[in-house]
Amino acid sequence: MPDLVIVGAGLGGLAAAWDAARFLPDYKIKVIGDERPYVRHKLRVAVVGKDISISTKHIENLGVEFVWDKVTKIRREQREVVLESGEKLNYDHLILATGSQPSRPKSIEGIEKAMGFRRLEDAQRIREEKPSRVAIIGASFVALHVADSALAVGAEPVIIVRSRLVRKSLEPELSQKLEERLKELGVEFVHAKPKSVKDNAVEADGEVIEADLIVTATGVNPDIRLAKEAGLELIWDWAVKVDEQGRTSDPRIFAIGDVANCYCPVTGKPDYFGIGTVATLMAYNAVKAIQGSKAVVKTPAYIKDAFMGGNFVFRAGLVSPQAEKAGFNVERIDVSGTEYGDHAYIVYEKETRRLIGFSSVSNRDIGSKAIELEKAIRLKRKVDDVLPSDIGR
Amino acid sequence: MPEAREMVHEVKVTVDENRCVGCGLCEQVCPVRNFEIVTTESGKKKSRVTEGAGERCFCCKACEVICPTQAVVIYEGLA
C-alpha cells in the first residue's frame, strides 16, 4: 500500500487529506499538523471568544490518520520525513502544505516586536490584553481584519499605510472609498512609511504613533524551510516552485497553498495569491495528479471579503496597475451603482476588449455577480459580454 | 475610545437549485463536507447544502469557483 504524507493541517492540508481519502483509496494517508485545525478566515471572531475550531472526523472516518507533531526534516533519498518526536514516516508521495508566516520587513527596525495575526494565540492575546489602541503596520486584508478585531474589543485601531489599502485587489479610487468608509466606523489612518517599532510606538516618516499593541500585517512569507533544506527548487527565492498541478522539482513531492506559487488566470504565468481558494484548488490538482490525471483546475485571483458595518470588497483578475505592469494596454469602465456594487470598475484590454479584472467596494453583497466576472476573466471573454444593461456597449 | 461589542460573522452557503446541474464538483472540492449530492423527486441530481455548513465553512470559495453554472454562492457578513 503506497504512503501519502501531507505536511500541514491548515486549509490546504485538510483539503488534500479530504481529496486523497476519496480519490486515492489505495494509499495509506497521514497528515502531520503542529496545530489543531481552525477556520483562519474567522480569526476575528476568535478575538471575542468564539470557537472557530474545525472537526477532522469526516476525514478520519475515511481512514486518514492525523499525527499532531512537527516535521523537522525531509530526507528525499530515503523518501522519509522526520518528526520532532523522532519518528520517521516513509512516503511514496509527499504534499507540502506548510503555509506561511506574517512577514516582517527588514527595512522596519524592531519589527520583530510586532505580533502577527495568523494563529489562535494571536487572537487570544488581543482578547486577554484588552488593548486601548492598536497600531497596524500594513494595508493588507489582514490589516483590515485586525482593525475589525480591535474595534470588537473596544480598542482604537490605527492603520499605518505606506501606499494604499489592499492595492493589489482594488483600483486606486476604490482604496480611497474603502478608507473613507472605515474612517466613519472609527478606524484611523496614517499615511507614512514605517521606520521602526518601539515597545509602545511605531515611528513612521518622523511621526510617532503610540499604541499598546503593535501588529504587523504587511503580507506573508511562505514557510519554505523544509523545502529549501531538502533542496527543492524555489521561485523568486521565497516560494516553492511548482507546475500547474503543484508538482515541485521532485516529482514525488507536491507543494500547495501559501508555500508555493500558483498561476495567474490572466497572464498564465507563475504568480502568488495567498488565499484559501487557491489552497483548496491546488490541493485538488495535486491529488488528481497523484491519481494520474493531467487535468488542472485553473487557480483564480478571486477575493470576497466582508468587514463590519456591512462593507464588502470583491476582486477578480487583475487591477489596472497590475495589468499594466504585466504588459497589458488597459482601459477601465466605471460600473459604480450597478449590480456590480456601489463603487466598482471593470478593466479590459484596449485592443482586444478582453476582460482583465474587476474590483468593487460595496455596502451590499453582490451575490453571484463577482463569481460570474471571475469566470468570464478565466474564460477570456470580452468586456461587452458582461457590461450592465444601463452602461453603453 | 469605542465600546467593546459583540461581533457576529455569519456565513451562508447557498445552492440555486434552478442553476445546479448536479455535477458534484462542489461536493468534491469542499474540505469540510458542506455539500452532498441528492436525487430529487423528479430524478435529477442536485447539490444540497449540509446542516451546519455556515459554521464549518472556511470561506475559501473554491465551491463558487469550480461550479460551472454559478449555482453556488457564499454569503458572508460581519456585523
What is the average pLDDT across A374-378?
95
The more confident residue out of B3 and A85 is A85
A281 and B33 within 8 Å at the Cβ level: the answer is no
Calculate how close chain B gets to A78, using CA atoms only, in Å. 31
Tell me how far apart the alpha carbons of residues A209 and A207 are, in angstroms, rounded to a whole number.
6
What is the average pLDDT across A83-101?
98
- pLDDT grade for B50, boundaries at 50, 70 and 90: very high
Query: Which uninterrupted H or E stretch holds B30?
Result: none
Would the pTM of this model clear 0.90, i.e. be above it?
yes
Q: What's the domain range around B19? A: 4-78
Q: How far is CA A118 from the centre of its chain?
A: 11
Tens digit of each residue's pLDDT (9 = 90 or more) over A310-365: 899 999 999 999 999 999 999 999 999 999 999 999 999 999 999 999 999 999 99
Q: What is the ipTM of this complex?
A: 0.93
- CA A183 vs CA A90, A211, A244, A285: distances in Å: 54, 18, 41, 41
How many Cβ atoms sit within 10 Å of the Cβ of residue B56?
Answer: 19
Contacts of B29 (CB under 8 A, 6+ apart): A15, A19, A280, A281, A284, B62, B63, B66
What is the average pLDDT across A282-297?
96
Number of domains in chain B: 1
B4 and A19 within 8 Å at the Cβ level: the answer is no
Contacts of A194 (CB under 8 A, 6+ apart): A108, A137, A160, A162, A202, A203, A204
Residue A10: DSSP 8-state: S
Mean pLDDT (chain A, rounded):
96
**Residues of chain A contacting B28 with CB distance shorter than 8 Å:** 19, 22, 284
The position carrying cell 487583475 is A318
**Residues of chain A contacting B65 with CB distance shorter than 8 Å:** 277, 281, 297, 300, 302, 371, 374-375
Position B42 pLDDT exceeds 60:
yes
A300 and B65 within 8 Å at the Cβ level: the answer is yes
Tell me how far apart the alpha carbons of residues A17 and B19 are, in angstroms, rounded to a whole number.
29
Query: Which uninterrupted H or E stretch holds A190?
Result: strand A188-191
The position carrying cell 485586525 is A146
Q: Give which of B72, B27, B62 is closest to A275, Cα–Cα.
A: B62
- pLDDT grade for B2, boundaries at 50, 70 and 90: low
- pLDDT grade for B1, boundaries at 50, 70 and 90: low
* pLDDT value at residue B8: 79
Position A393 pLDDT exceeds 70:
no
Beta bridge partners, A361, equal: A313, A343
B77 and A365 within 8 Å at the Cβ level: the answer is yes
Query: CB distance from B49 to chain A under 8 Å?
Result: no
Tens digit of each residue's pLDDT (9 = 90 or more) over A234-273: 999 999 999 999 999 999 999 999 999 999 999 999 999 9
Q: Helix crossing, A276-291 with A11-23: angle to 10°? A: 30
* pLDDT value at residue A292: 97
Within 13 A of A162's CA, how many CA atoms are on the CB side?
14
Is the distance from CB of A344 to CB of A254 less than 8 angstroms?
no
Calculate how close chain B gets to A156, using CA atoms only, in Å. 6
Residue A199: DSSP 8-state: S
The 3-class SS string of A105-168 reads CCCCECHHHCECCCCHHHHHHHHHHCCCEEEEECCCHHHHHHHHHHHHCCCEEEEEECCCCCCC
Is the distance from CB of A279 to CB of A300 less than 8 angstroms?
no
* pLDDT value at residue A392: 53
Q: Is A358 exposed, middle or buried (0-12, 13-18, 19+ CB in 10 A)?
A: buried
Mean pLDDT (chain B, rounded):
92
Which CATH number is B62's domain given?
3.30.70.20
* pLDDT value at residue B6: 72
Tell me how far apart the alpha carbons of residues A194 and A131 are, in angstroms, rounded to a whole number.
21
Query: CB distance from B38 to chain A under 8 Å?
Result: no
Select the residue of A152, A279, A302 nearest B4 (Cβ to Cβ): A152
Best of A19, A41, A53, A307 to disrupt the B interface by mutation (most B CBs within 10 Å)? Answer: A41
Calculate how close chain A gets to B79, using CA atoms only, in Å. 5
Contacts of A344 (CB under 8 A, 6+ apart): A174, A314, A334, A335, A336, A338, A358, A359, A360, A361, A362
* pLDDT value at residue A185: 92
Tens digit of each residue's pLDDT (9 = 90 or more) over A146-175: 999 999 999 999 999 999 999 999 999 999
Portion 146-165 of A in contact with B at CB < 8 A: 148-149, 151-156
Rg of the Cα atoms in chain A: 22
